[in-house]
Amino acid sequence: MNPGGLADIPRLYTALAEWLACLVYILSLLPAKRGSLRFWGLAAAMLAVQSAFLVATDDVPLPLWIPCMLAAIGLMFLFLLLACGRGALNAGYYTVRAFILAEFGASLEWQLYYHFANLAGQDSFLARLAFLAVVYAVVFGLMFLLEARSHAAEHPIAITPRELANAAIIGASAFLISNLSYTQADTPFSSQYVSDIFNIRTLVDLGGIAILYAYHLQRAELQMRHELETIDSILRSQYAQYQQSRESIDLINRKYHDLKHQIAALRAEPDAERRSAWLDEMESDINAYEAQNKTGNQVLDVLLTGKSLYCQKHGIHLTTVADGTVLAGVSPMDLCTLVGNALDNAIESVKKIEDREKRLIHVAVSRQKNFALLRFENCFEGELTFENGLPRTTKGNTDYHGYGLKSIRRTAQKYGGTVTVNTRKNWFELKILLPLAEAPQGK
């Protein structure tokens, strides 16, 4: 075969590159997919569809080339949308990145093979397969490692329409410039020579990948900074609530203490039997109030008492079994973050339940061998979707909600602890496990 006839990349190579590029982002975003038979069935079907479409449109006229290319991009978008399940904006953003990566991988592989085939003066099927396997493994494997190092799975970024538009502009610019020689060979930025066409396409696509990757890292860093600032704000807010609750509860305690003396004075006087029974009841209520939420940890006492008063006001039944002594090594601010956020989430959830008998929250704090276990349970209605082990916020604006559980996990990790969330039969369970021997690793 004449090596000069190798100018066009085989369409199957392009289909495989587009499929592999999608896999890079799917598997880096959702590592759990690697062992899913259902996912690999979908992936195999999408590879077959992508290959069939590109082969069928191999010899389309130039005016139909762009529409066919857009249709191929649409298939990549569909693959990412079905596999990731994170919405159209997210799928569109990663489609842009995957498409430019596929263009670069296919272009680089075919350029290298074209160069060495010309040097050798012959074309070999086995050499084609070897180049394909090696170059694709290096390109897509390296990109997968870069994405894994960016911790995309642990810290997925929230894509906005503006960010999708920015990525689309970068991707479209790279694609149009890299393929300019195929449509307009007489411009100052195009060429009529095969080797120059390869160089332009490969290098421009490489630049497009670099720009998109840098943009992604910058966006992820900005979002992480925003998350940390939001979590810090939540932490300080919970601590401020604790201080306010402590002042209010101290005032209530003084009032009840005075009331006990008033009751004692009334008992010293002759009184009716009915009034005596009423006073007995009052004293019993006061003693019950004094006994509740005495956990052995003053910060925990204030938090639980403050939330109990709120729950009583809103028809929520809160039960507590807590040994606060196991939390002696947790700083007041961190304890406010753990308990305050957990109870706020539970209260917000049960307040949505119409049936007041189902507005139930249970809190347990205990020692489990060398660990302190904090367990928060509450009824809930509806469906929850999970992301990175935590339920996604059910509120519309994810920019300002959903940080409560993130702040809990971040605080637990300071002490070498873990956070797990489970749901069963309309019961939500949050477990925080903190090693008793561990000291916090800094603020």
Asked whether the beta carbons of 334 and 291 are under 8 A apart, the reply is: no
Residue 324, amino acid: G
Element (H, E) at 243: helix 194-267
pLDDT tens per residue across all 443 residues of the chain: 333 444 578 889 999 999 999 999 998 888 778 778 899 999 999 999 999 999 998 887 877 878 888 999 999 999 999 998 778 998 999 999 999 999 999 989 988 888 888 787 777 788 888 889 999 999 999 999 988 887 655 556 778 888 899 999 999 888 888 776 555 555 555 555 556 677 778 888 899 999 998 888 888 777 777 666 666 665 666 665 666 556 556 656 665 666 666 666 666 666 666 667 666 666 665 555 554 567 888 888 878 877 887 787 788 888 888 998 999 888 888 888 899 889 988 998 899 888 888 899 999 999 998 899 999 999 988 777 666 666 765 554 443 335 678 888 888 988 889 999 888 888 899 999 999 854 444 44
Question: Position of tokens 């894994």?
Answer: 148
The reply to whether the predicted model has a pTM over 0.85 is no
Q: Which two tokens stand for residue 372?
A: 């302190």
In this structure, what DSSP letter does residue 432 have?
A: E
Reported as half-sphere exposure (CB side, CA atoms, 13 A), residue 114 has a value of: 20
Q: Per the structure block, which two tokens stand in for 411?
A: 């605080």
Separation CA 304–CA 294 (nearest Å)? 9
CA distances to 260, 287, 289, 380 from 284, rounded to whole Å, are 11, 5, 9, 34
- CB-based contacts of 419, cutoff 8 Å, min separation 6: 389, 390, 405, 408, 409, 412, 430, 431, 432, 433
**Which H helix or E strand runs over 16?**
helix 11-29
| Torsion sign over Cα 394, 398, 400, 402 | positive
Task: Kindly report the length of the chain.
Answer: 443
Task: Return d(Cα 46, Cα 39) in angstroms, integer.
Answer: 11
Q: Say which residue the tokens 């538009």 belong to.
A: 165
